[in-house]
Structure 1
Amino acid sequence: MSDFAGPAPPGTVDGVPLTIDARFNGPDDSANGGYACGLFASACAEPVAVTLHAPPRLGVPLRTEPGGRRTHLWDGDALVATAAPTRHRVVPPAPVPVSVARAAVPGYRGRRGHPYPHCFACGPDRESGDGLRLSPGPVPDRVDTVACPWVPDAGLSAADGRVRAEFVWAALDCPSGWTADLVAAPKVLGWMRAEVLRRPVAGEVCVVVAALDSFGGGGLAAGSALYDESGVLLAQATTRWYAPAG
């Protein structure tokens, strides 16, 4: 059974504004893509893929509206995102031992020249307990694959003691982008499909792994997965990234 969304966050029922706190940024002036997709997905009744049409603004009410099998997220008259059921099959990258993931961290490309150094998920300028501080570095003998440990803190937990689904989405998001060189060619998330099988508990040692699927035309596609320290799959995702507009 999929532990898809966890308890629905407040303010996300149909017609009630959804507001993304400024803490959860990617670029300084817009939301972290994975967090935004996960929060929006939590407002939907079934597992979905989320397409981002525009950077979600921070601190402003965003309106959710169902439309047939799709749900739309609006910022005034501007369409921000669309969530829709999908048959897209997620194939997770193979697990990586915790020791290998830890050894990969020093190779994280985003340590210097990060295009979004304050990103909630992977920004090196965030403090522990404020951002996720993911540092996915290359895995030896695994082409275009990165990994890092993640130990979620208690501030990410829902009332049931497990990490909220939107934070799992955020953890699956950024490592997939770092399967390419985002310092040389910055990109932002444009589409994400995730499945959360089990939400981890605070303090649980996890490993995030991501592998590049394709690269070209100014974009990339990648798969990512979250494992526990025994190599049991907790969550998986497929993402598509594009050069930022403008």
Structure 2
Amino acid sequence: MSESVPLTIGARFNGPDDSANGGYACGLFAGLCPSPVAVTLHIPPRLDVPLRAEVGGRRAHLWDGDRLVATAAPTRHGVAPLDPVALSAARATTSRYRGRQGHPYPHCFACGPDRAAGDGLLLAPGPVPGRVDTVACPWTPDEGLLDADGHVRPEFVWAALDCPSGWTADLVAAPKVLGWMRVELTRLPLAGQDCVVVATLDSADGHGLAATSALFDDGGGLLARATTRWYPPSAGVG
């Protein structure tokens, strides 16, 4: 027997201007599921409209009227380990962030350079010297991202792990959107805690890319990690 749960994604949490940030949407939906899941996005989730999550059994489905937005299901797909990047090195990469000029989604909640501090996450992942197809950036969550227990809400961790994985390729030259994501949460960060996001490209072809990302504390301790798949917007998602 499935349970129907209403869900609305606020306009603040956009990726493209007219649809949700993929990582945030996946994380919000995954949080309704009783066990860890991977989320497949079938169409871009609309903003500020009532969606409906049907949760029950091994799978959950997110609906916009009669249109299937996303599916969540358990997966055996593991997340490969990544080596951390020092906080000082991550800070140095931000000057090389490709999205500062020509960003396809400049108002993206997670990585849009046109967002204000305290409104977006302002992630700016740049290439890491000596590590092929790998980017990193610092992230210090603020108090507006906390749950009642004082930890950063999981959907914001999903958002932080999402966009850097896309920037392992050149999204200015070939824009892509998130289509699939799995996250393994080890520890939730705290407000004001200096963190580092690292992402590396696993594979890429004309159909899309696959990448692995991880969130570390400033001592290199693992907080969370993810694997993602990205597709050209013209191909839809999922």
Task: Name the TM tier (shorter chain).
Answer: over 0.9
What is residue 56 of structure 1 aligned with on the other side?
Answer: 45
2:3 aligned counterpart, secondary structure? coil
What is residue 165 of structure 2 aligned with on the other side?
Answer: 176
What is residue 7 of structure 1 aligned with on the other side?
Answer: none
What is residue 160 of structure 1 aligned with on the other side?
Answer: 149
CA distance in 2, matches of 1:157, 1:194: 19
Is residue 113 of structure 2 the alignment partner of residue 124 of structure 1? yes
Question: Residues 92 and 237 of structure 1 are in contact (CA less than 8 Å); yes or no, is this contact kept in structure 2?
Answer: no
How far 1:17 moved relative to its partner? Answer: 1.2
CA distance in 2, matches of 1:14, 1:181: 41
CA distance in 1, matches of 2:114, 2:3: 36
AA aligned to 1:116 is Y
CA distance in 2, matches of 1:213, 1:122: 21
How far 1:169 moved relative to its partner? Answer: 0.2
What is residue 139 of structure 1 aligned with on the other side?
Answer: 128
Question: Residues 107 and 115 of structure 2 are in contact (CA less than 8 Å); yes or no, is this contact kept in structure 1?
Answer: yes
Task: Indicate the RMSD between aligned Cα atoms, in angstroms.
Answer: 1.1
Which structure 1 residue ranges, 4+ long, deviate > 3 Å from structure 2? none
**1:180-216 CA-partner distances (Å, limit 9, x unpaired):** 0000000000000001110000000000000000000
1:15 aligned counterpart, secondary structure? strand
CA distance in 2, matches of 1:196, 1:120: 21
Aligned positions of 1:150-229 closer than 5 A: 150-229=139-218
What is residue 5 of structure 1 aligned with on the other side?
Answer: none
AA aligned to 1:142 is R
CA distance in 1, matches of 2:76, 2:36: 10
2:188 aligned counterpart, secondary structure? coil
CA distance in 2, matches of 1:196, 1:115: 29
**1:203-235 CA-partner distances (Å, limit 9, x unpaired):** 000000000000002300000000000000000
Question: Residues 5 and 54 of structure 2 are in contact (CA less than 8 Å); yes or no, is this contact kept in structure 1?
Answer: no
Question: Residues 124 and 133 of structure 1 are in contact (CA less than 8 Å); yes or no, is this contact kept in structure 2?
Answer: yes
CA distance in 2, matches of 1:92, 1:37: 21
Is residue 231 of structure 2 the alignment partner of residue 242 of structure 1? yes
**1:53-100 CA-partner distances (Å, limit 9, x unpaired):** 000000011111135310000000000000000111101321000011
What is residue 220 of structure 2 aligned with on the other side?
Answer: 231
**1:97-154 CA-partner distances (Å, limit 9, x unpaired):** 0011011000000000000000000000000100000000000000000000000000
CA distance in 2, matches of 1:14, 1:42: 14
AA aligned to 2:171 is L
2:90 aligned counterpart, secondary structure? helix
AA aligned to 2:62 is L
What is residue 61 of structure 2 aligned with on the other side?
Answer: 72
Q: Among the aligned pairs, what percent are the same residue? A: 76
Question: Residues 121 and 132 of structure 1 are in contact (CA less than 8 Å); yes or no, is this contact kept in structure 2?
Answer: yes
AA aligned to 1:119 is C
What is residue 31 of structure 2 aligned with on the other side?
Answer: 42
1:43 aligned counterpart, secondary structure? coil
Question: Residues 109 and 181 of structure 1 are in contact (CA less than 8 Å); yes or no, is this contact kept in structure 2?
Answer: yes
AA aligned to 2:69 is V
Unmatched 5+ stretches in structure 2: none
